[in-house]
A and B are shown apart, each in its own frame.
Chain A
């Protein structure tokens, strides 16, 4: 049981990074739809950088750099040029995948460095939780930091309040002297860095290595998880773990349901998307409205300024 849960936590780590990162950008009002490509390209770049340098830290940094660069293009296009965020993100999603395949050719199926296991002394001897959470590695611990850090920043600090302000009511924030668009750049790029780290977490930890299609569909699912999480970093992380659990279940069911073994790996993607349907169903929305406590746990509205261009003039 503990071993299974520990493997779910480990396997979900890249999605935790990606979902938390995208949540931060979207809270600021910018949709970075390029995740499918960003994760693929940063997974390849991260592996290549670690392979060449022999150092996984270099790989994670390079991957974060790729994520920041692509996020910066989305931010520039949507903020400075006022382009449709969906359009530019979609183009980058397809383009970055092709770039990853093209430049990754010589690294395909090469054995490379990996993040070493690092149990945390004392904490790992806590019954149950020690086994599940603290017999992992730095990549996984970093994802805990991302969850807690994002939560504390967004909900417990003044800067976090401003972050939500520029996503929710940019005009009001601007009227109070807050540089809305500059902060939107900042948070989109910070979110992009986390998405890039998600790529490295795939190629240097969870899946070990590079081949075409290594992270296929994970970018799209990370975007769905952000919605599933109702733009709350902790709930987004929960969505990532839920998806990890579904994947583990699918793997375990493969020997049992041999007739379906080929399509079982696809099922978590289907289920996750249709979890969105449930969250969005109008019947349930009525329930949220009557029970505000339930709404806080399950419901969720996008930031009002999400995807809307803000003109300071």
Chain B
């Protein structure tokens, strides 16, 4: 919450209660999620403590694992930061997956077809990713503002189109030398690969770009007229329009910003991790990014730490599959259960408080597209 939070009372006791409430709204769901995770592990006869230790060791147990976790953090943080912007405008950008894919395709196009040394090629691939993602975001925005299509379904349709385009390119025009394969295109020229640290997967440039993106979104939402007006659009489109805000233009801008960041994530996935275009290039990080933002309560400052936790769980759970033969979907369950409990606990406390204060209308903000 920002300083302008109207609920911030001057009384110290109220502030202490507020702090306790915040802690409770986080600790209780955390404990419940841990409980559910342990229960699930016991249900499938897996050793609970050993499993949790493997989850930790698999995500942070060695420099290599830490690098993997960090490289999963990059697309999550980028998508999450972008989604903070669209959510602020009250938009459900389900099309974020497609925007990652569009960025990856654009970057792959540059990496394949543009000659030149790394110093030229790498900035170009990143720019192409940003451009491709922003373009794809704008299509969803135009479908909404011009076509009257709810952004959830327009976005889903564009997700299908983007992954269809990726598969078409991989199996058709960009197929591997010899025989086409769903394992992806040929590797890009080494000049297009983002440089890594030592033998790990860590790409310092990708990490730096993500940090910059998260900070920029934080500043954008906190300290600029654009951010303020965007929030006004998100709170109430009609009154924002009456205030003279060109709401359609803000919707377009929000989608373009989110698409640009998602596209950058896609470009990094293609040139920094896989070094080729593969059908599942988004890795599901777009949808997972939506969970990150929901857990962060739509606040930019929380994106980085929550994305790191999610990245650790995702990377660590692959270790469970290798060592204990547990399906790595356990990672997704932990993430989903945590978000579910945090949302439910938040709603529960909101209800308790509004009942105490006897005000019926204190419902949570509706992030409807409208």
Contact = CB atoms under 8 A, between A and B. Distances in A.
A307 B369 CA distance: 11
B160 A273 contact: yes
Contacts of B363: 82, 309, 311
Interface of B: 40, 44, 92, 143, 147-150, 152-154, 156-157, 160-161, 163-164, 167-168, 171-172, 182, 287-288, 290-291, 294, 326-327, 329-333, 336-337, 339-340, 343-344, 346-348, 350-351, 360-361, 363-368
21 contacts: A33-B152, A80-B351, A86-B368, A88-B340, A90-B290, A94-B332, A98-B331, A102-B44, A102-B327, A220-B156, A263-B171, A266-B163, A270-B161, A270-B164, A273-B154, A276-B153, A277-B143, A280-B148, A280-B149, A308-B366, A313-B360
A94 B332 CA distance: 8
Nearest to A86: B92
Interface string A95-122: 1011101110100000000000000000
Contact of A282 (B40, B148, B288, B350): B148
Contact of B160 (A92, A105, A270): A270
Nearest to B294: A87
Given A82-B347, A91-B339, A101-B329, 16 more contacts: A33-B152, A73-B340, A77-B347, A80-B351, A83-B343, A83-B344, A83-B364, A86-B368, A91-B294, A91-B343, A98-B333, A98-B336, A224-B157, A270-B157, A270-B161, A280-B149
Contact of B329 (A91, A102, A276, A307): A102
A83 B364 CA distance: 6
B367 A87 contact: yes
Nearest first, the 7 A-B pairs at minimum CB distance are A273-B157, A95-B336, A81-B347, A98-B332, A101-B329, A313-B360, A102-B329
A94 B292 CA distance: 12
A297 interface: no
A259 interface: yes
A145 interface: no
A235 to B, nearest CB: 17
A269 B366 contact: no
Given A266-B167, A267-B164, A94 B347 contact: no
Interface centre among B150, B347, B363 (most CB of A within 10 A): B347
Nearest to A275: B157
A90 B173 CA distance: 36
Interface string A276-291: 1100111001000000
Interface centre among A80, A263, A309 (most CB of B within 10 A): A263
Interface in A68-89: 73, 77, 80-84, 86-88
A124 B152 CA distance: 42
Contacts of A84: 364-368
Nearest to A281: B147
A91 B150 contact: no
A91 B364 contact: no
B282 to A, nearest CB: 14
B168 A260 contact: yes
A95 B160 contact: no
Nearest to B94: A90
Contact of A91 (B143, B153, B340): B340
A311 B361 CA distance: 8
A98 B331 CA distance: 8
B347 A217 contact: no
Contacts of B172: 259
A129 interface: no
Nearest to B348: A81
Nearest to B157: A273
A223 B94 CA distance: 14
Interface string A125-139: 000000000000000
A102 B330 CA distance: 6
B290 A101 contact: no
Nearest to B370: A307
Nearest to B170: A262
Contact of A81 (B152, B154, B351): B351
A73 B149 CA distance: 28
Contacts of A269: 157, 160
A128 to B, nearest CB: 34
B164 A266 contact: yes
A92 B332 CA distance: 11
A80 B352 CA distance: 11
B333 A95 contact: yes
A20 interface: no
B157 A274 contact: yes
B343 to A, nearest CB: 6
A234 interface: no
Contacts of A163: none
Contacts of B294: 87, 90-91
B131 to A, nearest CB: 23
A227 B154 contact: no
Contacts of A280: 147-149
Contacts of A282: 148
B340 A223 contact: no
A101 B327 CA distance: 7
B344 A77 contact: yes
Interface centre among B163, B291, B336, B365 (most CB of A within 10 A): B336
Contacts of B361: 311
Nearest to A96: B336
